Amino acid sequence: MSQLQPPLVETDADLSTLNTLRLPARARRLARPATLDALEQVLAERAPAEPLQVIGEGSNLVINDDLPGITLCPAMDGMARVKEDAQFVWVAAGAGVHWDDLVAWTVEQGWQGLENLSLIPGTAGAAPFQNIGAYGVELSQVLEQVTVMEVATGRVTHFAAEECAFAYRDSRFKSRDRGRYVITGIELRLNKIPACNVSYGPLKEYFGHLPNDEISPASVRERVIAVRQSKLPDPAVLANAGSFFKNPVVTASKAGQLKKSFPGLVGYEQPEGIKLAAGWLIEQAGWKGRRLGPVGMHIEQALVLVNHGGATSDDVLALASAVRRDVWERFGVSLEQEPILLP
């Protein structure tokens, strides 16, 4: 006797466990399609004017109110080696795959490219939306293509990395084409012969004395996990959405002026200017470890906004506004919120 399948669409669904800030919210309708056919069915049955939101594990969200219309949580699973040559291996993953499971699997195979992105929360499908990055590496550097389904037509399309308009924590899926496509899977191109990037901060300090051929993806992953766990709260223990603000980029002239007034200013040269460490700015503005009601900036990493329990989106947005105001008044630098605000 076959088991009954759960309904394709839930009504009045609780979202408090589908956002890592643990904000109270509900979805009028929630679908978790695990196949392309199921996603196509949900989209075909949706009224053209019905609001649509797409979420992953909710690790980069501020849910500001109950979500109208239909909320999609793509659940396509599976990881596989697609092809390989002497230098590279191509790996595919479904949009619903937990990101760090994908990283761990590739590192276990000895393939290099994702180890710096270890322990980033979220799904494989959310990774290109945000162009996730950490410790000197961004997803765009290893991404081969993104598979999507067009909302209006149900047509499946593949976008090569160069077609995704990747930028710092941005992509076409987050900006100009937001709401037009649902990401269903990704394909990555990884190195079979490791060439680990340990040029960034704590990795350089730890591995700097070693020749490159003695640095393995597994050792870099191990170090990244240790650093992240020492500085960043586990969302399962203390509700948070990771880095709450983007690192602002200013002109070299502006950075030079700030450096004169604040010799300890932390910044990194980028093609577009100087990227300042938002966490340092927030700490210097007096917000590290400080609370405003049930929310606060983390005691170890001032860039992370945490929910100590019982917070609402109003609490989160009030704290974010206060932090932005104080950083602006002290440094004349504007901070941009990283998590997406829904609806």
Catalytic site positions? 169, 243, 338
| C-alpha to C-alpha distances, 316 to 21, 78, 192, 229, 320, nearest whole angstrom | 9, 35, 43, 23, 6
| Cα(301)–Cα(266) distance, integer angstroms | 14
CA angle (149 as vertex; 53, 56 as ends), nearest 5: 40
| Cα(143)–Cα(111) distance, integer angstroms | 14
- To which residue do tokens 């090569």 refer? 160
Question: What is the edge-to-edge ordering of all strands in the sheet holding 52-54?
Answer: 9-14, 26-31, 67-72, 52-54
What is the token pair recorded at 231? 């500085």
Strands in 265-308 per DSSP E: 267-270, 273-276, 291-292, 295-297, 304-307
